[in-house]
Amino acid sequence: MTIQTMHAAMPARLWFGIFALLLFCRATAADAAAGTMDESQVDVAELQRIRDTAMSSDWAWQHLADLTDTIGPRLSGSPQLELAVKRVAQAMQELGASVSLQSVKVPHWVRGQETAELVSYPGQAPGLTQQLRLTALGGSGATDPGGLTAPVVVAHDFAELQRRAGEVPGSVVLFESRFDQHLADSGQAGAAYGQAGKYRFIGPSTAAALGASAVLVRSVGGAEYRLPHTGATRWKADQTPIPAAALTAEDADLIDRLAARGTVRIKLVLTPRLLPEADSDNVIADWPGREKPEELVLVSGHLDSWDLGTGATDDGAGVIGAAAVIAVLQKLDLHARRTIRFIAWTNEENGSRGSKAYFAGAQKDIGHQIAAIESDAGAGRMLGIVAAVTGDSLARLRGLTEALVPLGASVLERRDAALGADIAPLQKAGVPGFAPLVDTQHYFDYHHTAADTLDKVDPHHLRTQVAALAVLAFYLAELPDNLARFPVGE
């Protein structure tokens, strides 16, 4: 039977029904196609262009070398940090981004003299002492210029400190808590840092409350190269800071062994100063969106560093890698639906004043903060993306991983946690948070030490991190609909 014969023989009502069914099927197919498009969210070919452009560029390496080699350490309040602010702002202006500086008052703590020696210990030969290697913790109080001499109380944890509370007044407390390298080797370096780091974060204030004259903390880090690791410590509102320092792992172990044999006395000279607060700035650079420019996807890192090294991995690679996202999009003349906002945070290391100032200003239009990315996990090999999002939102992110497969960075991991100190306030307000998933097995070998220098950064790893950040930022800014937000406070 021909089509014409079939048409003639078919009742009009039946033909109309078939025609309606065909229209329905066509509409359903179109909806399915649209659903597939919505599920993939963004043109994969566009993401591939972004990835490949990032992998062919040395913009990030050149600017990281400038930041670390010609400016150097960038502790809050230092002229080096303020020069870094100016140079990063200039670099973003040269890319054609809309740049502004957000003024922030920051603490200005400066390191002074720092020496230590064992002056009395079991088995000591007459007239001999032993020099120790240490560095003051950020926020440490000072000894008298001539130093202090006192017996050492070794505590392996807070419970032991409480058991020995009667020995603490007037003594130097040493927290001897090891960094769990086995945990770090298993991919849980952050957990290892948190476990050992609590003795640096609150150990000095806890010991001071019991009457200690000074506190030493076994350096929080993996490799034992007799490198002291600095970092901030926290004091209670009603406390006067006492001298507090990080002791190298080797010297902490030495004191622990000697103290097991008898009384150990130490002489400390620590003369840091807390100066009047200084002026600083967050650098904010917007790459405007083509459809919803008022909606913002943040990509960020912190510009300040500790004063011992040049902050190449903490957080030079992170902040310059984030800045390079704008460089990639500028080279492609590519604008997403929403504005991509780069932020170079000030004062992450010893106060987080930059992120607090930004959040205070953003609260009135928090709904315009669509997503926040922070890169502050070193310069190791890229593995993928970490997302603090709802379970439903995670499924909407699968499309971006296809572009990351050639980088070996296609892991997509969901966590219910703050993914960076600077975006934590935004996350607490419900904003979805993101971070690069980086191999951190050796990150804490050099973290907060004099060895955090440019040679620790692999240029290929840096390009890969830029590529992943650029793909992620564009993907989030290009989504047809915003990701679900968390309830405030979660």
Which of the listed CATH numbers 3.30.465.10, 1.10.569.10, 3.40.630.10, 3.10.20.740 matches domain 40-106+276-478?
3.40.630.10
Q: Which residues, listed in sequence order, are joined to residue 345 by a DSSP beta bridge? A: 302
E strands in 64-171: 98-110, 114-120, 130-132, 134-136, 148-155
- Strand 114-120 to strand 148-155: parallel, antiparallel, or no bridges (unpaired)? unpaired
Q: What does the alpha-carbon distance between residue 175 and residue 142 come to, in Å, rounded to a whole number?
A: 19
Take residue 484 and report the two structure tokens written for it. 């679900």
3-state secondary structure of 171: coil
Q: What does the alpha-carbon distance between residue 459 and residue 452 come to, in Å, rounded to a whole number?
A: 15
Q: What does the alpha-carbon distance between residue 193 and residue 7 come to, in Å, rounded to a whole number?
A: 77
Take residue 398 and report the two structure tokens written for it. 């699968």
The amino acid occupying position 7 is H
Q: What does the alpha-carbon distance between residue 259 and residue 173 come to, in Å, rounded to a whole number?
A: 12
Residue 431: exposure state from Cβ atoms within 10 A (0-12, 13-18, ≥19): buried
Run of H or E including 39 = helix 12-40
Contact call for residues 438 and 380 (beta carbons, < 8 A): yes
Which of the listed CATH numbers 3.50.30.30, 2.40.50.140, 3.30.70.141, 2.60.40.2220 matches domain 112-271?
3.50.30.30
Domain boundaries of the chain, sorted by first residue: 40-106+276-478, 112-271
- What does each C-alpha distance from 381 to 366, 375, 442 come to in angstroms? 33, 13, 11
Q: What does the alpha-carbon distance between residue 403 and residue 47 come to, in Å, rounded to a whole number?
A: 6
The amino acid occupying position 351 is G
The amino acid occupying position 126 is P
Q: What are the pLDDT tens digits along the chain (490 aa)?
A: 333 333 433 344 333 343 343 333 343 333 333 333 344 468 999 999 999 999 999 999 999 999 999 999 999 999 999 999 999 999 999 999 999 999 999 999 999 999 999 999 999 999 999 999 999 999 999 999 999 999 999 999 999 999 999 999 999 999 999 999 999 989 899 999 999 999 999 999 999 999 999 999 999 999 889 999 999 999 999 999 999 999 999 999 999 999 999 999 999 999 999 999 999 999 999 999 999 999 999 999 999 999 999 999 999 999 999 999 999 999 999 999 999 999 999 999 999 999 999 999 999 999 999 999 999 999 999 999 999 999 999 999 988 999 999 999 999 999 988 999 999 999 999 999 999 999 999 999 999 999 999 999 999 999 999 999 999 999 999 999 999 998 887 6
Active-site annotation holds for 348: yes
Instruction: Select which of 82, 114, 176, 348 is catalytic.
Output: 348
